A = this chain, B = another copy of it.
Amino acid sequence: MKATVHITLKKGVLDPQGKAIGQALHGMGFGEVGAVRQGKVIELDLAEGTDEARIRDMCDKLLSNPVIEDYRIDIAGA
């Protein structure tokens, strides 16, 4: 089975990388762009029947920084 973890900065946390992308897009003439935020996606190949709680555990312990990041888990075919 496959799971995808989307990790994004919490609202209110400054995102300098997103800001830099936004400014670069503006500089290139994409004036329609407002705020930009950058996050991560982690695609996991997992043994069949892996519990979502187990994936949540991975997120809390390694994949995300719960102080400043939120995550969302998508399980393929679930």
Give how many copies assemble into the complex. 2
A8 / chain B contacts, CB cutoff of 8 Å:
41, 43
A47 / chain B contacts, CB cutoff of 8 Å:
32, 34
CA distance A40 to B7 in the complex (A): 9
CA distance A38 to B64 in the complex (A): 13
Given known A21-B63, A63-B21, contact A58–B41 (CB-CB < 8 A): no
14 contacting pairs across A/B (C-beta < 8 A): A18-B42, A21-B42, A21-B63, A25-B62, A30-B54, A30-B57, A32-B46, A32-B50, A33-B44, A33-B45, A33-B46, A34-B45, A37-B43, A39-B42
Q: Which residues of A are in contact with B by a Cβ distance under 8 Å?
A: 6, 8, 18, 21, 24-25, 28, 30, 32-47, 50, 54, 57-58, 61-63
